[in-house]
């Protein structure tokens, strides 16, 4: 097999393997960082996105989670369900529409004690206009949508 055919063949295998299923936790294509490397606990404690630090990294559900401090990492370890973004960090609006899209850690909302991410500012605005409705819709589809 010549180099061109081999490249096309391996590229096709990679594409189909990636398209077959999505991970339970959203991570960018060439990264394994949950929440884009932001500290999920900080949304609750600081009320804002805070970049995590490699020194306080933790592996959870197949992804790397980063924290701003050892205390935040400990809080997450004690109760990950409290701090993990809903729908694995995928865009809450997309999931409510039976689809997936990246969740932007800068487009976030805490609603009834849960963290939600959205694709961009406009999507967050649309989703926020009727959060309860979109959350009920998202809950119907999640996690079957990624299988």
Question: Residue 4's pLDDT band (boundaries 50, 70, 90)?
Answer: very low
- What does the alpha-carbon distance between residue 81 and residue 90 come to, in Å, rounded to a whole number? 15
Segments in the chain forming alpha helices (H): 3-20, 42-45, 70-78, 80-83, 92-96, 121-128, 131-141
Domain map of the chain by residue range?
22-146
More confident: 116 or 23 = 116
**Which element (helix H / strand E) includes 60?**
strand 53-60
pLDDT for 78 beyond 60: yes
Closest-CA residue to 104 (of 130, 127, 82): 127
Average pLDDT, the chain: 89
pLDDT for 7 beyond 80: no
pLDDT tens string 22-77: 789 999 988 999 999 999 999 999 999 999 999 999 999 999 999 999 999 999 99
Is the Cβ–Cβ distance between 52 and 68 less than 8 Å? yes
Segments in 99-145 forming alpha helices (H): 121-128, 131-141
């Amino acid at each position: 097999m010549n180099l061109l055919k081999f490249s096309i063949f391996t590229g096709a295998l990679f594409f189909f393997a990636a398209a077959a299923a999505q991970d339970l936790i959203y991570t960018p294509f060439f990264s394994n960082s949950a929440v884009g490397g932001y500290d999920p606990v900080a949304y609750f404690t600081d009320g804002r996105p805070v970049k995590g630090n490699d020194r306080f990294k933790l592996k959870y559900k197949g992804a790397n989670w980063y924290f701003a401090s050892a205390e935040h990492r400990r809080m997450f370890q004690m109760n990950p369900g409290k701090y993990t973004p809903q729908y694995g960090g995928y865009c809450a609006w997309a999931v409510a529409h039976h689809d997936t899209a990246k969740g932007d850690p800068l487009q976030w909302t805490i609603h009834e004690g849960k963290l939600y991410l959205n694709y961009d500012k406009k999507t967050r605005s649309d989703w926020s206009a009727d959060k309860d409705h979109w959350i009920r819709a998202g809950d119907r589809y999640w996690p079957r949508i990624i299988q």
